[in-house]
Amino acid sequence: MTTAITLKDITVYPVVEQQGPFFDVMEFFPTLTKELLEENRSWLEPTFIDPVSGLLVLCVQSFVIRTPRHNILIDSCVGNHKPRPARPFWNMMNSDRFEKGLAAAGLTINDIDYVMCTHLHVDHVGWNTRLENGRWVPTFPKAKYVMADRELAYWTQKEKEDPSGVPWITDSVLPIVEAKRTQIVKSDFALNESIQFIPTPGHTIDHYSVLVGQPGHDALITGDMIHSPIQGRYPELGMRADYDSRQAGQTRRKVFDRFCDASTLMCVVHFPAPSTGRVRRWGDGYKFVA
Ligand SMILES: [Zn+2]
């Protein structure tokens, strides 16, 4: 089991929904060359690349932040009962892992005060809603769902143009808007001095990461600012679903440069468990250390 992270009076719990070898490495990183992959294979295997299948090992998870005042869920995985025909391993899931992970943090869906969506991709918004009598309703009855304004506008427009291309917006984002449960903010929003957003655009148009805690006792919940540590070594390496890979690379450099001499713990959604590390320089790039 993954363990909780304590930052003075704040506790961060990973809530894992899935982990496994899911994606072809070369497809996932379209500009990666075979030569560069081979050069790095020895340290990527077996944790980050599965030696048997050769596939990229990714985790799908949320982070729950318990503070003295609030319980906050950052991102909400894939969710149950959602038709995702394009992704067999996410299609019509029926799993109790998310709920069990929440319980391991001592919480139920009734205890969540805020759901913060770093961005509105399919594997980050799924548990926003659950099926009740054939309708998608907010999973967390008391929560406000915090979304960046330009991110929400972008995906709302996409859904209007072609709903079949973005089914997760239809079933996991728009029902939250219709239920008037969104809190729409700028991507540099701060809930208070211990919960602050950092704009990390590029992977999506208005992606944010969340800085949790106080200097010396803090963690950055990165969202999808980075997917695999090979993008630490080569910050310019884009992934196929990026909105703007060039900007995503600039964002990684800027953020890693800011934190590479700090004790700030990175909590990276898609890194395999324990999914955490501190950033340190590595040649012209960066690595993650315990
Ligand atoms: Zn993702």
The predicted pLDDT at position 58 comes to: 97
Indicate the DSSP class of residue 49: B
Decide: helix, strand or coil at residue 156. helix
Give the percent of the chain with pLDDT over 70: 99
pLDDT of 1 > 60? The answer is no
pTM (predicted TM-score): 0.97
**258 alpha carbon to ligand 1 midpoint, in Å?**
23
Average the pLDDT over 5-20 and give the result: 96
198, 185 Cβ separation under 8 angstroms: no
Decide: helix, strand or coil at residue 236. coil
Average the pLDDT over 171-189 and give the result: 98
Nearest to 270 by CA among 69, 68, 119: 119
**215 alpha carbon to ligand 1 midpoint, in Å?**
27
Q: Give the C-alpha separation, 68 to 10, whole Å.
A: 7
DSSP assignment of 70-138 equals -EEEE---S-SS---TT-GGGTT---SHHHHHHHHTT--GGG--EEE-S---HHHHGGGEEEETTEEEE
**219 alpha carbon to ligand 1 midpoint, in Å?**
19
**279 alpha carbon to ligand 1 midpoint, in Å?**
20
**194 alpha carbon to ligand 1 midpoint, in Å?**
24
Tens digit of each residue's pLDDT (9 = 90 or more) over 129-151: 999 999 999 999 999 999 999 99
Average the pLDDT over 263-273 and give the result: 97
Tens digit of each residue's pLDDT (9 = 90 or more) over 20-73: 999 999 999 999 999 999 999 999 999 999 999 999 999 999 999 999 999 999
Mean pLDDT of the chain: 97
**118 alpha carbon to ligand 1 midpoint, in Å?**
10
Q: How confident is the model at residue 2 (pLDDT cuts 50, 70, 90)?
A: low
Decide: helix, strand or coil at residue 256. helix
Q: In angstroms, what is the C-alpha Rg of the chain?
A: 18
**265 alpha carbon to ligand 1 midpoint, in Å?**
19
The predicted pLDDT at position 3 comes to: 83
Average the pLDDT over 260-285 and give the result: 96
Give the percent of the chain with pLDDT over 90: 98
**3 alpha carbon to ligand 1 midpoint, in Å?**
21
Tens digit of each residue's pLDDT (9 = 90 or more) over 105-133: 999 999 999 999 999 999 999 999 999 99
CA 71 vs CA 154, 178, 186, 248: distances in Å: 28, 23, 21, 29
What ranges in the chain are assigned the alpha helix state H? 25-28, 34-44, 97-104, 122-125, 149-161, 167-172, 174-178, 230-233, 245-259
Sheet (strand 71-74) strand order: 5-7, 10-24, 55-66, 71-74, 114-116, 144-148, 182-185
**11 alpha carbon to ligand 1 midpoint, in Å?**
23
